[in-house]
Structure 1
Amino acid sequence: MSTLSTAQSLRTTPEGILWEPSDRWVRGRKGAVTVVDSHRPVLVWEPGAAVPLYAFPREEVREDLLRPARNPPAGTHTGSLVFYDLAVDGELLENAAWTFPAEDLAGHIAFEWSGRTGTGLDHWYEEEEEIFVHPRDPHKRVDALVSSRHVQVEIDGTVVADTHRPVLVFETGLPVRYYIPREDVRLDLFSPTEHSTGCPYKGTAAYWSWNGEAGIPPNVLWSYPDPLPAVAAVKNLLAFYNEAVDITVDGEPQERPETVFNATLRPGTGR
């Protein structure tokens, strides 16, 4: 029996890589060219990585588009043995693909996602649904729940939001995010920015920055104008980074959490 059975269970390689087979049909494209078309993808978590990536059997990859890397990077990805450049429509993408040394993953190739690293394949699909930034983690939940809690948000002593009808988003590994109707937010105190981010669980977010001078980082407020169906309840609602503002819930001040976003949520930095 192949070591890559379709049973859903996490395995660990001697290099510390976690992996498990997936039953999803996954395709990856560069522009209009399909580079990967796989019914047997493998989800891979590298040591210290917060999100997974996919690796694919070689026979489900357009290897004719791969070239041995001209300038393979050092120290990226866990013990990578071989890097490849990707040649598509006259464009050469350096180090867009690689292999892992783990015996369990022999015969598999992984790819960069342009939505996450700025290079690699730019369109990914699970079944017929396009996904963004990185694969969805099957061990992670994202729940958007309508609530009647009293949520207040303050910046430098100014109440910028006050609602009894928030939607609370519970996402594994992150603090609760409080999504607030626009009518309950002092949006006149903020200015829209050109910043946007993509999330495989929620969609594409638009951002606003604080107009005041309280040392608040830019893009502290965001909204999903067209969220994915699983979190449709947050459509056009507004949320603040708990890490950068003061939030009170049912009269109880909330501690500012320490998360992966703290390093970038500093005045003068962008997200």
Structure 2
Amino acid sequence: MTEFRVGPSARTTPEGLRWEPSRRWVRGRKGDVTVVDSRHPVLVWEPTGVPVPLYAFPRDEVRTDLLRPAANPPTGTHTGSRIFYDLVVDGGLTENAAWTFPAADLAGHIAFEWFLRWDSGLDHWYEEEEEIFVHPRDPYHRVDALRSSRHVRVGIGGTTVADTRRPVLVFETGLPTRYYIPREDVRLDLLEPTGHRTACPYKGTARYWDWNGGGEVPRNIVWSYPEPLPAVAAVEGLLAFYNEAVDLVVDGERLERPVTPFTESLTT
């Protein structure tokens, strides 16, 4: 079971869903068509799976004329969801783009896939006038990027690949501290850029590097945000290493390698 932080207006259904109303104006588009335009969205956290929120919307704030009962509804997803919908926009079909929850508290609401499933859902989401990526931002999730003078060394297979006294430390709820290091303090000759990209609703889009210094080291072990979101502007262009797979020494103290949701995805 996922352990959730609870806000003053949060409620929990018998099915284990946690939900609370949001004050944000949320819109979702497929191509040039606005499918959702809601000033009364509800944030929903499911008890299993990825511990990030999604939105459910009152039916009268959804273009239900674009929805059709799903031809091939999935099973075992979205906490006992009873009804799935395919989305038809300008002749294009998006299967299982939306669904309803069985919870009585959420009767009359429709939820949509975001970007965690890349082949389903809408193309663009907005909170107020700001485009949001990957998934809705969790109001109980905090990310702080702080400039520091700590002494940080990063080792891979016995080789020091980074050594700095001017890192930026990123403190993010539920994750280990990440140490972002200026390029001038990194052995770039031991890294090779890859085509891998990921997106984060709190930080932006990251690009990655492989280690090319030998040994069995996970792919895409280093990342950087060339154009981070304003809230973490201090990390622009800096490089970070997965604590889960490198040797980190901070102010002379060797840090243990943490086990995180990323551990299983780090493969050689």
Same fold (TM over 0.5): yes
Letter in 1 for 2:143: V
Number of the residue aligned with 2:263: 262
Q: Secondary structure at the match of 2:75?
A: coil
1:97-246 maps to which residues of 2 (within 5 A)?
Answer: 97-113=98-114, 115-118=115-118, 119-246=120-247
1:88-99 maps to which residues of 2 (within 5 A)?
Answer: 88-99=89-100
Cα distance in 1 for partners of 2:258, 2:35 equals 40
Q: Is contact 1:8-1:21 (8 Å) kept?
A: no
Mapped pair 1:19 → 2:27: no
**Unmatched runs of 5 consecutive residues or more in structure 1:** 1-6
How far off is 1:135 after superposition? 0.4
1:20-41: CA deviation from partner (whole Å, max 9, x where unpaired): 0000011111121111111110
Number of the residue aligned with 1:45: 45
Q: Secondary structure at the match of 1:263?
A: helix
1:217-251: CA deviation from partner (whole Å, max 9, x where unpaired): 11110000100010000000110110011100000
With normalisation by structure 2, the TM-score equals 0.95
Mapped pair 1:84 → 2:81: no
1:176-215: CA deviation from partner (whole Å, max 9, x where unpaired): 0000001011111111111101100000001111113321
Number of the residue aligned with 1:3: none
Letter in 1 for 2:241: F
Letter in 2 for 1:18: R
Cα distance in 1 for partners of 2:214, 2:69 equals 51
Q: Is contact 1:8-1:22 (8 Å) kept?
A: no
- The 1:8/1:31 distance shift into structure 2, 3 A limit, reads farther
Letter in 1 for 2:127: E
How far off is 1:8 after superposition? 5.5
Q: Secondary structure at the match of 2:184?
A: helix
Number of the residue aligned with 1:58: 59
Q: Secondary structure at the match of 1:67?
A: strand
Cα distance in 2 for partners of 1:211, 1:34 equals 46
Cα distance in 1 for partners of 2:54, 2:187 equals 39
Q: Secondary structure at the match of 1:140?
A: coil
Count of matched residue pairs: 260
Number of the residue aligned with 2:3: none
**Unmatched runs of 5 consecutive residues or more in structure 2:** 1-6
Q: Is contact 1:65-1:87 (8 Å) kept?
A: yes
How far off is 1:170 after superposition? 0.3
Q: RMSD across aligned C-alpha pairs, in angstroms?
A: 1.0
Cα distance in 2 for partners of 1:253, 1:214 equals 21
1:158-188: CA deviation from partner (whole Å, max 9, x where unpaired): 0000000000000000000000001011111
